Structure 1
Amino acid sequence: MMRQYFLQTARLGFSQWTEEDGELAVSLWGDPEVTTYISATGAFTELQVQERLSKEIRQEQQYNVQYWPLFELESGEFVGCCGLQPYQLDKGIYELGFHLKRTKWGKGYASEAAEATIAHAFAKLKANQLFAGHNPENQGSKKLLQKLGFTYTHDEYYPATGLQHPSYLYHNHTSQG
């Protein structure tokens, strides 16, 4: 299937999830190494993967955001997802998140996708701030959020894991406030 990209980086194209993306969703959220930090059980059932896909599609319809599927521009290969979800929309705050396929770890894709998503959030969605959190065991996400310029603010309970997640805010450095 030829994907349409609404956003591109040097190596990645951002698309939108559709109901036909079940296999891609399973290849990502069906991998326990990917979900170990985002699920209390460490893994998603097939039904939970389908629910996650449906949630992403609904969020795009309602809020014009989702954790958008990412594809390598050169090969068309599925990389994972990166994007936004509503957090405190009354304050103009979206939550940034990313999940990459295990075979795509360590290639700089998370950083590249997150930087493009941050720029998109402020330029197109007029976000005031971005929120992000990570499982306390996930040191890779912690390092990336700090590298991106997020500032630790507090620990916040994350129902999906049942844990207090270190939580961060990113302020738009190109505007006042």
Structure 2
Amino acid sequence: MMTNLYTERLLLRKMRTTDSASLFKIWSDPEVAKFMNIDPFTEESQAVNMISHLDKLAHDNKAIRFSIIKLSTNELIGSCGYNFLDFENEKAEIGYDIAKEHWGNGYAPEAISALVENAFNTLNLNRVEAKVEPENINSIKVLEKLNFTWEGTLRQTEKSKGKYIDLKIFSKLKSD
């Protein structure tokens, strides 16, 4: 089920333990981790543990996480994937993060487009969702650029860093 996804500039491939140093660099940045429901990592072992956790979810067909590789440099610049897969209801929730020095270059929309296309055409899903904190303006702009539909705000729907947070929910349907 796990296959590499290619875009014009990116390779999305299964996250590996050997990615831990690069992912630690990204996930330890407070600005990247701000909206990730994690505290910024302080040790590379946290990235190793996160990769292992995500790998177990992938093994159980509950999630799939990709490392985002910039083809021109072979540099790992972020991660993305299906945070939650629900094959019974043919839907998935996506998530993504990009290293701060690569923000504003269109990599997030490019990677997410590949995820959406794969969800509809390979995984045969009907719906792709994204939940975003209202303050995460950049992420909201990415979803709007990709013609996701804002469905509403889930009030105090999750706890993040010890506080209840609101999440805006966006979706894209296969029929859109």
Contact 1:150 1:168 in 2 (8 A): yes
Q: Which residue of 1 aligns with 2:134?
A: 136
Q: Which residue of 2 aligns with 1:23?
A: 21
Contact 1:38 1:135 in 2 (8 A): no
Compute the displacement of 1:160 (Å): 3.1
Q: Which residue of 1 aligns with 2:169?
A: 167
User: What RMSD over aligned residues (CA atoms) do the two structures have, in Å?
Assistant: 2.0
The whole-number CA distance in structure 2 between the counterparts of 1:167 and 1:120 is: 20
Amino acid in structure 2 at the alignment position of 1:68: F
Moved more, 83-92 or 140-149: 83-92
Work out which of the residue numbers 50, 53, 56 in structure 2 matches 1:55. 53
Compute the displacement of 1:55 (Å): 2.3
Q: Which residue of 2 aligns with 1:35?
A: 33
Contact 1:87 1:131 in 2 (8 A): no
The whole-number CA distance in structure 1 between the counterparts of 2:158 and 2:102 is: 26
Where in structure 2 are the equivalents of 1:1-177 lying within 5 Å? 6-39=4-37, 41=39, 43-46=40-43, 48-63=46-61, 65-156=63-154, 157-161=157-161, 162-173=164-175
Compute the displacement of 1:61 (Å): 1.5
For residues 123 and 64 of structure 1, do their structure 2 counterparts lie closer, same or farther at Cα, with a shift above 3 Å needed? farther
TM-score of the two chains, using structure 1 as the length reference: 0.85
TM-score of the two chains, using structure 2 as the length reference: 0.86
The whole-number CA distance in structure 2 between the counterparts of 1:110 and 1:118 is: 12
Compute the displacement of 1:15 (Å): 1.1
Compute the displacement of 1:112 (Å): 0.6
Identify unmatched segments of 5+ residues in structure 2.
Answer: none
Listed one character per residue, the Cα deviations across residues 24-55 of structure 1 (whole Å, up to 9, x for unaligned) are 220121111110112365x2343543432222
Q: Identity of counterpart residues, as a percentage?
A: 27
Compute the displacement of 1:107 (Å): 0.4
Q: Secondary structure at the match of 1:63?
A: coil
More strand by share: 2
Contact 1:22 1:53 in 2 (8 A): yes
